[in-house]
């Protein structure tokens, strides 16, 4: 048997994790000089309340090599092999730390997803499906390495104050964007985040325009399933996005996730993401 593991940036719903026997390793979240575990003893609402009360933005801690080693060695007592799918190596040293641990153990395979959020999650789901189908670790890793080159992860953000507090944009940029109601579109390109467009207006309107920009006229998309992920505390963003995808009528399944604390710490509330995969 092959065990699939990933980290808490995968943002998969608990039901899918349990159904596919995927184990999630929580990243660390530092709030008020105290270390918490993403999705275990801290949640996005806790971060939002802290920031809204004037607190500093939470920071994130990578999983260390010792914790990876403990997890992998425990799993190898039950499973023949472990395939671990990490947050993109350009975003964190989790991948490097997992590799260090894997080098000390047999039959542990570490894959750099080169992706974020449910882009990682979909890779983990497909790996679990291939494991159930009886594929070998080498075959599954090869599939994942191909899949990551076909992933398109993009999102639109309502607020820039989280990125400003985290040092990822200047105060002037953030104030200007907020005054003009600019909503940046960020894409993961070659494993790195790039701002590719700026929208303007209400988030519901921006979400619709963003999705049409990403999907209209495309014939290269794998339409078996599409992912939405958001960091909102209400249903409005997801509802607006789901309506666009349902009107599109191409997708076999529309799957939805919520950002965990690691992603939320950088994007803040009211961010909407889309994850699709190009055809092979």
- 108-112 vs 151-157, strand pairing mode: unpaired
Note the pLDDT tens digit of each residue in 20-56. 999 999 999 999 889 999 999 999 999 999 988 988 8
Q: Are residues 140 and 197 in the same domain?
A: no
Number of domains in the chain: 2
Give residue 115's domain range: 2-27+62-149
Has residue 16 been placed in a domain?
Answer: yes
Q: What residues does 207 pair with on adjacent strands?
A: none
Q: Are residues 185 and 211 in the same domain?
A: yes
Has residue 54 been placed in a domain?
Answer: no
Has residue 38 been placed in a domain?
Answer: no
Q: What is the DSSP code (8-state) at residue 279? A: -
Q: Are residues 143 and 155 in the same domain?
A: no
Please report the pLDDT score of residue 242 as a whole number.
Answer: 97
Has residue 101 been placed in a domain?
Answer: yes
Out of 92, 121, 149, pick the residue that ends a domain.
Answer: 149
Q: Average pLDDT for residues 235-241, to the nearest whole number?
A: 96
Mean pLDDT, the chain, integer: 92
CATH code at position 20: 3.40.50.10170
Task: Give a three-class secondary structure readout of 74-119.
Answer: HHCCCCCEEEEEECCCCCCCHHHHHHHHHCCCCCEEEEECCCCHHH
Q: Are residues 137 and 176 in the same domain?
A: no
User: Are residues 9 and 41 in contact, defined by beta-carbon separation less than 8 angstroms?
Assistant: no
**Tokens coding 66:** 């010792």
Q: Are residues 116 and 13 in the same domain?
A: yes
Out of 134, 149, 164, pick the residue that ends a domain.
Answer: 149
Has residue 43 been placed in a domain?
Answer: no
Q: How confident is the model at residue 244 (pLDDT cuts 50, 70, 90)?
A: very high
Sign of CA dihedral 94, 117, 223, 82: positive
End-to-end CA distance of the chain: 27
Q: How confident is the model at residue 89 (pLDDT cuts 50, 70, 90)?
A: very high
Has residue 33 been placed in a domain?
Answer: no
- 271-277 vs 225-230, strand pairing mode: antiparallel
Please report the pLDDT score of residue 159 as a whole number.
Answer: 79
Note the pLDDT tens digit of each residue in 150-159. 999 999 999 7
Has residue 47 been placed in a domain?
Answer: no
Out of 149, 168, 185, pick the residue that ends a domain.
Answer: 149
Question: Is the pLDDT reported for residue 177 higher than 50?
Answer: no
Has residue 52 been placed in a domain?
Answer: no
Q: Are residues 66 and 184 in the same domain?
A: no
Report how far residue 271's alpha carbon sits from residue 157's, in angstroms, rounded to the nearest whole number. 4
Q: Are residues 7 and 145 in the same domain?
A: yes
Report how far residue 256's alpha carbon sits from residue 268's, in angstroms, rounded to the nearest whole number. 18
CATH code at position 162: 3.30.1180.10
Please report the pLDDT score of residue 68 as a whole number.
Answer: 98
Q: Are residues 132 and 7 in the same domain?
A: yes
Q: Average pLDDT for residues 168-179, to the nearest whole number?
A: 43
Strand order in 192-200's β-sheet? 192-200, 182-189, 151-157, 271-277, 225-230, 253-258
Q: What percent of the chain has pLDDT over 90?
A: 80
More confident residue, 171 or 224: 224
Whole-model pTM over 0.85: yes
Q: Average pLDDT for residues 115-129, to the nearest whole number?
A: 97
Q: Are residues 117 and 13 in the same domain?
A: yes
Q: How confident is the model at residue 168 (pLDDT cuts 50, 70, 90)?
A: very low
Q: Are residues 141 and 158 in the same domain?
A: no
Q: Are residues 136 and 257 in the same domain?
A: no
Question: What backbone torsions phi and psi does residue 148 show, to the nearest 5 degrees?
Answer: -65, -25
Q: Are residues 171 and 268 in the same domain?
A: yes
Please report the pLDDT score of residue 193 as a whole number.
Answer: 81
């Amino acid at each position: 048997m092959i065990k699939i593991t990933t980290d808490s940036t995968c943002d998969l719903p608990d039901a899918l994790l349990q159904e596919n026997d995927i184990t999630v390793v929580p990243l660390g979240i530092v709030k008020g000089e105290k270390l918490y575990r993403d999705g275990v003893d801290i949640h996005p609402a806790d971060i939002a309340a802290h920031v809204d009360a004037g607190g500093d933005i939470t920071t994130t801690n990578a999983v260390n090599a010792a914790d990876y080693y403990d997890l992998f060695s425990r799993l190898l007592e039950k499973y023949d092999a472990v395939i671990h799918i990490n947050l993109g190596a350009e975003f964190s040293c989790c991948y490097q730390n997992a590799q260090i641990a894997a080098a000390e153990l047999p039959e542990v395979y570490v894959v750099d997803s080169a992706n974020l959020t449910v882009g990682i999650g979909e890779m983990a789901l497909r790996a679990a499906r291939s494991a159930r189908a009886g594929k070998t670790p080498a075959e599954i890793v090869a599939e994942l390495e191909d899949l990551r080159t076909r992933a398109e992860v993009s999102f639109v953000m309502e607020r820039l104050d989280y990125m400003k507090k985290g040092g990822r944009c200047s105060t002037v940029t953030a104030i200007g964007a907020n005054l003009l109601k600019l909503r940046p579109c960020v894409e993961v390109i070659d494993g790195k985040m790039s701002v590719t467009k700026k929208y303007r207006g209400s988030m519901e309107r921006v979400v619709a325009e963003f999705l049409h920009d990403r999907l209209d006229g495309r014939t290269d998309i794998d339409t078996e399933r599409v992912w939405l992920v958001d960091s909102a505390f209400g249903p409005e963003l997801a509802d607006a996005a789901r309506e666009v995808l349902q009107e599109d009528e191409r997708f076999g399944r529309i799957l939805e996730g919520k950002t965990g604390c690691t992603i939320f710490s950088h994007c803040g509330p009211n961010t909407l993401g889309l994850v699709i995969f190009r055809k092979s």
